[in-house]
Amino acid sequence: MALLWKDELLTGVAVIDEQHKELFARIENLLDACNQGKGKAEVANTVDFLAEYIKIHFRDEEEIQRNSGYPEYEAHKAMHDQWVREVAELREQLATDGPTVRLVLKVNRTVVDWLTQHILKVDKRLAEYLRSQ
């Protein structure tokens, strides 16, 4: 199993960190299914399993932002919404073509790299704001 989580991703906000770890666990499931050459339907199921948790996580994280009057809420939410669309698009491609080499690379870029960069840059800024409240 690919171990994608690293402690440098910790934001210091416990509920967000726990959910981020769960997101990475679900991304690892998806990559494992891809790398084990699982069929289209099974790979699509692992994306559904991830997408279900993305919804929960974004709902909670956005609620924290609204409740704390976070000034960057709108821009932050727009990034979440955009990523949700990209993951849905990727799911369609995986369900149609299966985990081809090209698509697995795309999973790494679209899912793993995006989330890693989002946490490091955008969520850490949110965490700093929450600490300053």
Contacting residues toward Fe ion, per CB under 5 A: 123
Q: How far is the CB of 84 from Fe ion (least distance, A)?
A: 11
Element (H, E) at 75: helix 73-97
Nearer to Fe ion, 27 or 34 (CB): 27
CA angle in degrees (0–180, nearest 5) for 1-124-17: 45
**Alpha-carbon distances, residue 38 vs 3, 44, 78, 92, 109 (angstroms):** 19, 10, 33, 16, 20
Nearer to Fe ion, 38 or 77 (CB): 77
Least distance from Fe ion to the Cβ atom of residue 118, Å: 6
In the bound state, the residue with its beta carbon closest to Fe ion is: 123
C-beta closer to Fe ion: residue 28 or 123? 123
- Backbone φ and ψ for 13, nearest 5 degrees, come out as -100, 110
Q: How far apart are CA 90 and CA 108, in angstroms?
A: 11
- Cβ closer to Fe ion: 81 or 92? 81
Nearest distance, CB of residue 45 and Fe ion, angstroms: 25
How far is 15 from 12, CA to CA, in rounded Å?
Answer: 9
Nearest-approach distance from CB 58 to Fe ion, in angstroms: 7
